[in-house]
Structure 1
Amino acid sequence: MLSPMRVRQSRRLGILRRAERWARFVSSGAKEFVLLEGQGW
């Protein structure tokens, strides 16, 4: 059985991983997004 501490830790790791993926996606897609915004999308 998993201890609450470990569960909480793994959940936090998942959130961090998701945030990291989002940051990478934003940094790579920011230019394209800005271009789309400039075109009135």
Structure 2
Amino acid sequence: MDSATVLIITIGAVVVAITGVAIYTAFGPPSAQLDDPFEDHED
């Protein structure tokens, strides 16, 4: 394969992996450990 094609596939895979981890962290089981700073400081 051409080196540019390998580079594009690699960058695309990294972007998809980071997006998947971010969605898992935001909406999956680890989201129970996240704090909402607006709920902590009610006026």
Given the two structures, how large is their TM-score scaled by the length of structure 1?
A: 0.67
Task: Using the aligned pairs only, state the percent identity.
Answer: 9
Larger radius of gyration: 2
Structure 2 unaligned regions, length at least 5:
35-43
Structure 1 unaligned regions, length at least 5:
36-41
Q: Name the count of aligned residue pairs.
A: 32
Root-mean-square deviation (CA, aligned residues, Å) is 1.5
Which aligned runs of 4 or more in structure 1 are off by greater than 6 angstroms? none
Given the two structures, how large is their TM-score scaled by the length of structure 2?
A: 0.64
